[in-house]
Amino acid sequence: MRWPLVAVLCLVLLTGCSGLSGLDGGDRSATTPAPVPTVTERASTPSAPPGLDADGLAGVGYLSNGHERALENRSYTFRERYTMTTTRDTGRLRVTRNETTAVVDGRNYRHDLERTRILPNRTVERYEQSMYGDGRVWFERRDDGTVDYYRGDLQFYQDEFAGEAAFYVDQYVSANRSWTQRVRRNGSLYYRLVGVGGTPPGISQAESYRVRLLVAPDGLVRQLSVRYTTTIGSQTETVSYRFWYEDVDSTTAPSPDWLDEARQRTGNRSDGSNR
């Protein structure tokens, strides 16, 4: 996991105002003012979220900062899926990573990761990692064939996980051309961004780069998906990454079934040691 600092972005809503005439008792019929939009009419057409406009992507930094801002003091479940397929002369390697992070607040959370590697000889390697914060202490379980447990005192009070998605927004939202469309999902308004022709992090050129976002009016990036292919010599690599949010404002973080064993194996130590 990566924990970049939370940046703050303020979204200013501009509203119109109308003048009043005839207060001096003069002839009110002499002038007919042109009709102007009411506050209610303007409110029904909200501005695009930070970082987007009617034409597409306006600024990645504004988008990622607005996302972190929208998650402040909220509970949520954050899900990720990453797949990389590498094809070379010696065969094909496929790596898949699935993560789920349930955040109630900065001190009560649960994170689960599963990673699978399928080697060219079809050997399968698996790795699992889980973390749980109970409000006072964090516990961690790692399983790469041998199970180890760790624990330590929680050192922060605010949500440090909101930056996870913001990191991927900064990394993957890249496009030479993009466009925005207003859509409705389950009766709620969202902004869909589609971008093409971008560049993945650390790579100068990619084929078929395409990124899609679904952004709420408050700036919360509810969904992101990106897919691209790179070719270096005889090696071709296809990457697919997706994240999405569930149960915003209603997430719980149930304790894992391994928690009792972790407490027994780590005792009362809070130095991060295992067993």
**pLDDT digits 0-9 by tens, 137-191:** 999 999 998 999 999 999 877 778 888 899 999 999 999 999 999 999 999 999 9
Q: What one-character DSSP code corresponds to residue 30?
A: S
Q: What would you measure as the largest C-alpha separation in the chain, in angstroms? A: 92
- Structural domain spans, the chain: 52-266
Q: How far apart are CA 267 and CA 275, in angstroms?
A: 8
Which residues are CB-contacts of 159 (< 8 A; sequence separation ≥ 6)? 71, 72, 103, 105, 106
Q: Which CATH number fits domain 52-266: 3.30.565, 3.30.110, 2.50.20, 1.10.10?
A: 2.50.20
Question: How does pLDDT run across 195-244, given as a tens digit for each residue?
Answer: 999 998 888 789 999 999 999 999 999 999 999 999 988 999 999 999 99
The answer to pTM > 0.85 is no
